[in-house]
Chains A and B, each alone.
Chain A
């Protein structure tokens, strides 16, 4: 059983559509991060959120940390083929260094 569950697991959409990926847990995290990973490469950090209720925007990507710091969401507006990849949330528990990854969401944006 993984600490962080992501949904959906797979998502295939048309270019221009909007989408939301969810990352849920029963644990409280001191910080939560979102990564994107391309095949054969390490994950690349997109954003870090640390405050409950925090919202961060990165161009067409909007990240939100839940008020209780147990969940997070990633919303992409007007998806583009370049957004295709594996999206991973990852959380650090309070007082710990370890970063635990979510189950992952594989996004495919069709031109």
Chain B
């Protein structure tokens, strides 16, 4: 079945530094990838949708300059949290689909970011 690999699984960084999270579709080409954020004991909130070769579409309230998304190929999307602050600490999850959603969504295992 379709597999999405997310890396790293956890990261601790200092305030003011930037952190990059990678999301790779291992055995299929993902036309669209999604990035979610999940706070403790809460559900997943969609941050942005990225299509290969084009700019990401951000959900309302998500700072595009803060959360840089690059979808350079059909198998790789990256999320960079720039100038991280403690309030950016969260669980970040990526998802990929072949397209139109009806082909299904495959989720990565998530990245736990802690900013100290």
Contacts and interface: CB of A to CB of B under 8 A. Distances in A.
A42 B42 contact: no
Given A33-B105, A45-B104, A101 B43 contact: yes
Contact of A99 (B105, B108, B109): B105
Q: By DSSP majority rule, is chain A's interface helix, strand, loop, or mixed?
A: strand
Q: By DSSP majority rule, is chain B's interface helix, strand, loop, or mixed?
A: strand
B43 A97 contact: no
Nearest to A41: B109
Nearest to B99: A97
B101 A104 contact: no
Report the interface size class on chain A: 20 to 34
Nearest to B95: A99
B99 A43 contact: no
A85 to B, nearest CB: 13
Interface string B38-59: 0001111110010000000000
A44 B4 CA distance: 12
Report the interface size class on chain B: 20 to 34
Contact of A40 (B6, B34, B97, B110): B110
B49 A97 contact: yes
B112 interface: yes
A97 B97 contact: yes
Interface string A50-69: 10000000000000000000
Contacts of B42: 103-104
Interface of B: 4, 6, 32, 34, 36, 41-46, 49, 91, 93, 95, 97, 99-102, 104-105, 107-110, 112
22 contacts: A2-B43, A30-B101, A30-B102, A31-B101, A40-B91, A40-B110, A42-B107, A42-B108, A42-B109, A43-B44, A44-B107, A48-B104, A88-B43, A92-B102, A96-B101, A98-B34, A98-B46, A98-B49, A99-B95, A99-B101, A101-B46, A104-B42
Interface of A: 2, 30-31, 33, 35, 40-45, 48, 50, 88, 90, 92, 96-104, 106
